Amino acid sequence: MHVTHLSLADFRSYARVEVPLDPGVTVFVGANGQGKTNLVEAVGYLATLGSHRVSSDAPLVRMGAERAVVRAAVTQGERSQLIELELNPGRANRARINRSSQVRPRDVLGIVRTVLFAPEDLALVKGDPGERRRFLDELVTARSPRMAGVRSDYERVLKQRNTLLKSAAMARRHGGRSMDLSTLDVWDQHLARVGAELLAQRLDLIATLQPLADKAYADVAPGGGPVALEYRSSLGADMALSRTREELYEQVTAALAQARKQEIERGVTLVGPHRDDLVLGLRGMPAKGYASHGESWSYALALRLASYELLRGEGNEPVLVLDDVFAELDTRRRERLAQLVAPGEQVLVTAAVDDDVPGVLAGARYAVSEGVVERL
Ligand SMILES: Nc1ncnc2c1ncn2[C@@H]1O[C@H](COP(=O)(O)OP(=O)(O)OP(=O)(O)O)[C@@H](O)[C@H]1O
Ligand SMILES: [Mg+2]
């Protein structure tokens, strides 16, 4: 798929901007702080309902404005659709498809698919497990948009269960009557059911991604691998996770039973996909804590390129976004990366210095300056 038109109102630094887009490569060039990343961030938002830079919507709304609107015309094969998202921080966001009446924002997921690589992705390798869980879950959702519902169900169940555990812990500490634990049993079942579904999808994803990540790393940093993706589960360090949802349900249930005493003591859910991690191995060592800066960077890029290959291979080709990538690479690696991505259906590139972008990425060029986006 590709985006044929992007229209922003009160998004980030833009009061209003209209950007017609072609398939193929488009490069946004401009000095620092002019609004290049803001444009591609909006495209990413359409695909994930989130920003790659901030965890809440508030910074996405132009300072002083009440709401932001992101609109895009999208073409997939013969089909064109118009999607519109209104961001209302602190209140519910709204969405429309083809100017129809409102739909839930999550109903637009799957229309725009993106793989976005940005300097912030270094955190995939160096950051907390939450960064890697988000990476997995966003990709799981890109493969299968209905997983957005599963993820939000999981969040909800987890929150409720934690509330219950917290009051159990309080009651215990203050010597009150111990609470009726049958309610907890019900939440255990919910957690195991939804958690198993998420786990199954993550495990399937990792198995599919592994060879692609290894190949992508070899492309980006020849001879530097191999890389190994290993899921580290909170269900128990030595537990071999099943791959079927039914068996995972049993495994989560068993782990919850085992952790219950400790959970009631601590007042929080200690077992489940929200406590898991993806261990990124590089030449037999975990990249986190061991890999050099350049290796970590190559690893993050390899994970994104592997995601791109995976989604491409499964049908609807995503838009590839490379935010500020070329400045970090030496000339040889720039050329390799450019060759690799040049044939993509739509590739959006940002760069502060035009000359950093290899010539093979010929295509539309836009100058971005003080919020004005002008075709060169
Ligand atoms: N909510 C907001 N309201 C108004 N301005 C904002 C908002 N959020 C960010 N900005 C402004 O947008 C600008 C940053 O834009 P952006 O990140 O797109 O820059 P860039 O062109 O990608 O720069 P660089 O080359 O440094 O990456 C900053 O000047 C920032 O102050
Ligand atoms: Mg930028």
Domains of the chain: 1-113+317-376 (3.40.50.300), 119-315 (1.20.1050.90)
The identity of residue 284, as a single letter, is: G
Confidence of residue 237 (pLDDT cuts 50, 70, 90): low
Ligand 1 atom index nearest CA of 59: 1
Distance 297 CA to ligand 2 centre (A): 17
Which residue minimizes the CA distance to atom 17 of ligand 1? 37
Q: Name the residue of 6, 38, 325, 349 to mutate for ligand 1: max ligand atoms within 8 A of Cβ.
A: 38
* Whether the CB of 59 sits within 6 Å of ligand 1: yes
Atom 19, ligand 1: residue with shortest CA distance: 33
Instruction: Assess whether the C-beta atom of 38 lies below 6 angstroms from ligand 1.
Output: yes
Name the helix (H) or strand (E) containing 117. Answer: strand 114-117
52 in contact with ligand 1, CB cutoff 6 A: no
Read off the pTM.
0.95
* 161 to 99, 149, 154, 185: CA distances (angstroms): 39, 18, 10, 10
Calculate what percentage of the chain has a pLDDT beyond 70: 98
Render pLDDT for 253-309 as a digit per residue (tens, 0 to 9): 999 999 999 999 999 999 999 999 999 999 999 999 999 999 999 999 999 999 999
CA distance 9 to 67: 8
Compute the distance between CA of residue 150 and CA of residue 153 in angstroms, rounded to an integer: 5
In the block, residue with structure tokens 């998202």 = 85
Residue appearing with tokens 């061991």? 290
- Looking at all shown ligands, the one closest to residue 28's CA atom is 1
> What pLDDT, on the 0 to 100 scale, is given for residue 171?
84
Q: Whose CA is nearest to atom 16 of ligand 1?
A: 35
Closest ligand to residue 29's CA: 1
Interval 204-220: pLDDT, tens: 999 999 999 999 999 98
Q: Is the pLDDT of residue 86 over 70?
A: yes
